[in-house]
Structure 1
Amino acid sequence: MVVPPDVERLGPYRLLSPIGAGGFGAVYIALDPQGHTVAVKVLHPPVAADSAAIARLAREVEVMRRVRGKHVAEVLDAELSGERPYLVTRYVQGRPLHAVVTDDGPITGDALARLARGLAAALASIHGAGVVHRDLKPANVILADGEPIVIDFGVAAALDSPSVTASGAVLGTPGYLAPEVISTGVSGPEADVFSFAATLAFAATGRQPYGTGPATAVAYRVVHEEPDLGGVPEWLAPLLRECMARDPAARPTAEQLCARLGASVPPPAPPVDAVRDTAVADIPPVQGVHGMATRALVAESPRPGLSPEDARARHAAKVRTRWVIGSGAITALTAAAAQEHLPEVSLLVLAVYACAVVADAGVALFRRGGPQRARLAVDVGSVIGTVAAWFALSVFFSTFTLVLALGTVLAVLLVIVVSS
């Protein structure tokens, strides 16, 4: 799916591709001005047209930005006054919990305990900042390398208005909404604790705790019947049953959940002013399911304290070093393959490479600064290493093996270039 041209850029953010959509908006993976990977949620036009809901969300954003923690996707920025209002959050590379359970089956053992502790810590971070999620469910939990990351906190509560609901946006999901939310519309931290338990029950069993069917039927069961916790491990079932009590006052708090599950209670949320200008670079990347960091689409992220010019120079130096070393390896392999039958070609290849690198080293000698000294060291080391590799390859490998290896390397490089 290609990003439409008219939304390729929103403010300072460059949209790369859609990664999902929900009742409130479409989510895109994007790059910020410094090249960090972020997630941008663009609100749907009917939602954006509700000025009262947008004004309420704008007030809540500053509070939502106070939420910080390993298990939440922090709100980094927002622009809610234009024609296309949007929220910017940390990008989390992973799979939604509902997809993991649907595709791979229920979560068990240590993985389930890890999920429970992470969700409890996430709720403690959210509630500690004075925010209520209101829509905690398996679709709003991303599993990244086994760790749960909660997304979309505070959005549903802020956008709760009749016009938004009439537009088709669903404020909460039956089966995960607490009884008091269904009956009275009142939503507090206790409602999130109920949703926490329902989400864990689904993860542990692969079933909806209140069954399936029409939303009204599921909502009726939530209000009048007990949840189906069959199959939930014995160490977890009593806690979930307590969290799903009909009386909100009978449910434990998020901090109590952390204590009972052995999770670390996050530190108190910082004041709003302390996070207003927080840079994306200050937020640690979360490892994805394939071992890639959340900034994997960025060639090189500027480090805190570096100017854009310094960051670009550092990135250029890294790219150049890789090219020098990589071309040296190919040169050594080519020269070794030609050594037996074309010794003159072998020496010519080595000489051309050495002259090119030595000339570059000569340029570095006339420049000042630590990076130039490092550049000189790389040049000299590459020449020595290339000659040593050529000698070793010529001695220990046959010409046929070297030609085969060279052909393989060149074929791989060609595939990479064509794919790019």
Structure 2
Amino acid sequence: MSVPTAGQLGPYRLLSRLGAGGFGEVHLALDPDGHTVAVKVLHPHVAADEVALARLAREVETMQRVRGPHIAEVLDASLTGARPYLVTRYVQGRSLAAVLATGGPLRGEELVRLARGLAEALASIHEAGIVHRDLKPANVILGDGEPYVIDFGIACALDSAGVTASGTVLGTPGYLGPEVLEGRETGSAADVFAWGATVAYAASGRPPYGTGPAPAVAYRVVHHEPDLTDVPSWLVPLLGDCLRADPAARPTAAQLCARLGMAAPPVTVPPQRGRVPDHAEPVTEEWRPEKRDAPGSVEEARARHRDKVRKRWVVGAGVVSGLVAAAVRQYVPEMSLLVLAAYGVGVLADAGLGVAAGARARVLFDLVSGAGTVGLYLALIALFSPVTLLLALATVMVVLVLVAFAG
């Protein structure tokens, strides 16, 4: 049963066909309020499986409650009638598979954003008691450089004999964990394996278990080690842990977030019926791909800016004070001492504020600056004549005046 590329489906107006997957066709549509959404209309052989639809209907309520910045949330569903469908947030962009096919592997910040975004998405999905079961490059949309996970929970909910007998492959070889391929019990660790395979593909430009017929790829997943040759060195240990054959040896999604230098997303829903418990994992070291911290709040940015300005004033005032004190020492010794004393009082006051705030680095910086100003003063009077120092002071003052008026 084919779905027209334009028309009405329930309260949704279908605009155009976006693509198709193993479970249905995806259409760009408008909701009753005129907002764009993505409508996945299930294939006829899937819609005909009453057991699969009943299981999906039980999971939809939980799926609708999963929220996250890297998730295409389930907004609505209608699983009765001739054309059952799911409605999700529409994410404008291209699939990771298409991006890699045309642009090659990701590097630098792009790769870090992908790894972190997918880990955060899995953590949110697992907190809801859902297993994605079909995470792969085709189910990741890149929009403005950020990854968004789609189709979470559908593969797991539709895992029934009727669906598989119709020829639909529940998952893609190369991204399915060995336990899935061998028919063993499957939990959230299978998604972590898929995360590792997806990120490895994005980092190297080729699947870690190679290409070829599905049985051949599946055999390599079960019996061979992944090929991580072209993966950046900072990522190899983490991917190696995620692609372990033993599900219990893999980190959880929350531990992935920690090792990627980010906090796990907050719990958005309480544990639900039928949640598959995560395996206990060994403690993992926190890993950071770069020295730069994740962006903080606006207040944190302002605080960093204020601290930078304060340091510049402390150093600048110290240089000017040392120069002034050295230049006038020969002519007005009292003024020389007064300038140094005034600067010293200012530095001690700032250091006192640092002590009150418990900022040891600020106190140390002030003390070093004060000592540096005294050292500069002694060096200037030892190396230069009073006339030279006065000329230098005059030049500095002219420059400062010009800078002030130029602003």
Q: Which residue of 2 aligns with 1:112?
A: 111
- Report the Cα distance in structure 1 between the residues aligned to 2:212 and 2:3, rounded to whole angstroms: 35
Cα separation, 2, equivalents of 1:193 and 1:136 = 9
Q: CA deviation at 1:185?
A: 4.4
Gaps (5+ residues) in structure 2?
273-407
Show CA shifts across 1:29-49 (max 9, x none).
001101111000000111000
Q: Provide the rounded CA distance (Å) in 2 between the counterparts of 1:255 and 1:112.
A: 19
Closer, same or farther in 2 for the Cα pair 1:125/1:84, shift >3 Å? same
Cα-to-partner distance string for 1:138-165 (whole Å, 9 max, x where unaligned): 0000001110000000000000112111
2:4: which partner in 1?
4
Q: Does 1:14 align with 2:13?
A: yes
**Matched residue type, 2:92:** Q
Please give the TM-score of this superposition, normalised by the length of structure 1. Answer: 0.63
Q: TM-score, normalised by structure 2?
A: 0.65
Q: Is the 8 A contact 1:3 1:15 kept in 2?
A: no
Displacement of 1:263: 2.6
In the TM superposition, structure 1's runs of 4+ consecutive aligned residues that sit over 4 Å from their partners are: none
Residue 58 of structure 1 aligns with an amino acid whose one-letter code is: A
Match of 2:303 in 1: none
Cα RMSD, aligned residues only: 1.6
For CA contacts below 8 A with separation 6 or more, give which structure has more relative contact order: 1
Number of residue-to-residue matches in the alignment: 271
Deviation by residue 1:77-100 (Cα, 9 ceiling, x = unmatched)? 000011100000000000100110
C-alpha displacement at 1:66, in angstroms? 1.7
Whether contact under 8 Å (1:201, 1:208) holds in the other structure is: yes
SS of the residue 1:14 aligns to: strand
Q: Using a 3 Å threshold, how does the CA distance of structure 1 residues 14 and 213 change in structure 2: closer, same or farther?
A: same
| Kept after mapping to 1: 8 A contact 2:134/2:176 | yes
Q: How does 1:382-393 map to 2 (within 5 A)?
A: none
Name the CA distance, whole Å, in 1 between partners of 2:43 and 2:143. 27
> Equivalents in 2 of 1:139, 1:263: separation in Å?
25
Matches of 1:148 and 1:4, distance apart in 2 = 29
> Could you tell me how far apart the structure 2 residues matched to 1:53 and 1:185 are?
20
Partner of 2:218: 219
1:40-119 maps to which residues of 2 (within 5 A)? 40-119=39-118
- Contact persistence 2:97–2:138 (CA under 8 A): yes
- Confirm or deny: 8 A CA contact 1:65 1:272 kept in the other structure: no
Q: Which moved more, 1:257-266 or 1:149-158?
A: 257-266
Q: Which amino acid aligns with 2:73?
A: E
Letter in 1 for 2:203: A
**Which of 1 and 2 has greater Rg?**
2
Separation (CA, whole Å) in 2 of partners of 1:36 and 1:3:
21
Q: Would you say the 8 A contact 2:128–2:271 is kept in 1?
A: no
Shift of residue 168 of structure 1?
A: 2.3
Q: Unaligned stretches of 5+ in structure 1? A: 274-420
The answer on whether the counterparts of 2:176 and 2:190 sit within 8 Å (CA) in structure 1 is: yes
For the residue of structure 2 that corresponds to 1:20, the secondary structure is: strand
Within 2, Cα distance between the matches of 1:66 and 1:181? 26
